[in-house]
Amino acid sequence: MLAGCTPWPPETALRYREQGIWRGETLGTVLRAAAREYGSATALVHGERRISYRELDDWADRLAAGFVEHGVRADDRIVVQLPNVPEFVAISFALMRIGAKLVFSLPAHRETEIGHLVELSGATGYVLPETHRGFDHREIARTVQAGSSTLRSLFVLGDKSEGFTALSELENAVADPRPLPEPDPSDVAFFLLSGGTTALPKLIPRTHDDYVYQAGRAAEVCELTSADTYLAVLPIEFNFAYGCPGVIGTLMTGGTAVLADTPNPLDCFPLVERHRATVTAMVPSIVQLWLEAAEWSGEDLGSLRLVQVGGARMTREFTERIGPTLGCSLQQVFGMAEGLLTFSRPGDPAEAVLTTQGRPISEADEVRIVDGDGAELPPGAVGELITRGPYTLRGYYGVPEYNRRAFTADGFYRTGDLARLTEDGDLVIEGRIKEMIIRGGDKVSAGEVEDHLLALDGIAAAAVIGVPDPFLGERICAYLVPDGPDGPDGPDGPGGARRSLPELKQAVHARGVADYKLPDAVRYVSELPLTPLGKVDKKALAAAAASEQEG
Ligand code: OOB
The pLDDT score that the predictor gives to residue 486 is 54
Domains 26-184 and 436-550 are alike in CATH topology: no
Question: Exposed/middle/buried for 491, CB within 10 Å: 0-12, 13-18, 19+?
Answer: exposed
CB 133 within 8 A of CB 104: no
For the chain, the domains span 26-184, 436-550
> What sign for the dihedral angle of Cα 214, 217, 223, 229?
positive
Nearest to 421 by CA among 346, 489, 357: 357
Residue 206 β-bridge partners: 190
Cα–Cα distance for residue pair 182/208, rounded to 1 Å: 11
- Give the containing element (helix H, strand E) for 155: strand 153-157
CB 62 within 8 A of CB 172: yes
| DSSP notation for 336-385 | ETTEEEEE--TTS-HHHHHH---EES-TT-EEEEE-TTSPBPPTT--EEE
Nearest to 525 by CA among 465, 463, 474, 475: 463
* Backbone angles phi and psi of 326, in degrees to 5: -95, -5
Query: Residues 6 or more apart from 72 whose CB is under 8 A from it?
Result: 78, 95, 98, 100, 124, 125, 153
Q: Is the CB of 214 under 6 A from ligand 1?
A: no
Q: Is the CB of 311 under 6 A from ligand 1?
A: yes
- Give the containing element (helix H, strand E) for 414: strand 413-421
pLDDT tens-digit map of 504-542 = 999 999 999 999 999 999 999 999 998 877 778 999 999
**What is the residue type of 394?**
R
Q: Is the CB of 415 under 6 A from ligand 1?
A: yes
Q: Is the CB of 443 under 6 A from ligand 1?
A: yes
Q: Is the pLDDT of residue 495 over 60?
A: no
Ligand 1 pocket, mutate which of 334, 420, 428 (most atoms under 8 A from CB): 334
The pLDDT score that the predictor gives to residue 198 is 67
Residue nearest to atom 25 of ligand 1 (CA): 311
pLDDT tens-digit map of 261-309 = 999 999 999 999 999 999 999 999 999 999 999 999 999 999 999 999 9
Residue 149 CB neighbours (<10 A)? 8
Q: Is the CB of 466 under 6 A from ligand 1?
A: no
CB 493 within 8 A of CB 487: yes
Cα–Cα distance for residue pair 61/481, rounded to 1 Å: 56
pLDDT tens-digit map of 108-151 = 999 999 999 999 999 999 999 999 999 999 999 999 999 999 99
pLDDT tens-digit map of 352-398 = 999 999 999 999 999 999 999 999 999 999 999 999 999 999 999 99
Find the 39 Cα to ligand 1 centroid distance in Å: 35
The CATH code belonging to domain 26-184 is: 3.40.50.980
Of the listed ranges 122-136, 198-212, 430-444, 472-486, the one predicted with least confidence: 472-486
Kindly report whether the peptide bond that precedes residue 245 is cis, defined as omega within 30 degrees of 0.
yes
Cα–Cα distance for residue pair 502/509, rounded to 1 Å: 10
Cα–Cα distance for residue pair 333/283, rounded to 1 Å: 9
pLDDT tens-digit map of 398-427 = 999 999 999 999 999 999 999 999 999 999
Name the 3-class secondary structure at 69: helix
Find the 341 Cα to ligand 1 centroid distance in Å: 9
Cα–Cα distance for residue pair 367/386, rounded to 1 Å: 6
The pLDDT score that the predictor gives to residue 494 is 44
Cα–Cα distance for residue pair 6/362, rounded to 1 Å: 21
Q: Is the pLDDT of residue 68 over 90?
A: yes
Query: Residues 6 or more apart from 478 whose CB is under 8 A from it?
Result: 449, 453, 462, 463, 464, 504, 519, 521, 522, 523
Cα–Cα distance for residue pair 303/17, rounded to 1 Å: 38
Q: Is the CB of 358 under 6 A from ligand 1?
A: no
Q: Is the pLDDT of residue 485 over 70?
A: no
Question: CATH: 3.30.450.90, 3.30.300.30, 3.40.50.720, 3.40.50.10800. Which one for 436-550?
Answer: 3.30.300.30
Q: Is the CB of 42 under 6 A from ligand 1?
A: no
For the chain, percent of residues with pLDDT exceeding 90: 88
Q: Please tell me the pTM assigned to this model.
A: 0.93
331-335 average pLDDT score: 98
Name the 3-class secondary structure at 269: helix
- What is the band of 493 on the pLDDT scale with cuts at 50, 70, 90? very low
Q: Is the CB of 337 under 6 A from ligand 1?
A: yes
> What sign for the dihedral angle of Cα 409, 412, 416, 419?
negative
Q: Is the CB of 308 under 6 A from ligand 1?
A: no
Find the 246 Cα to ligand 1 centroid distance in Å: 15
The average confidence (pLDDT) of the chain is 94
The pLDDT score that the predictor gives to residue 488 is 46
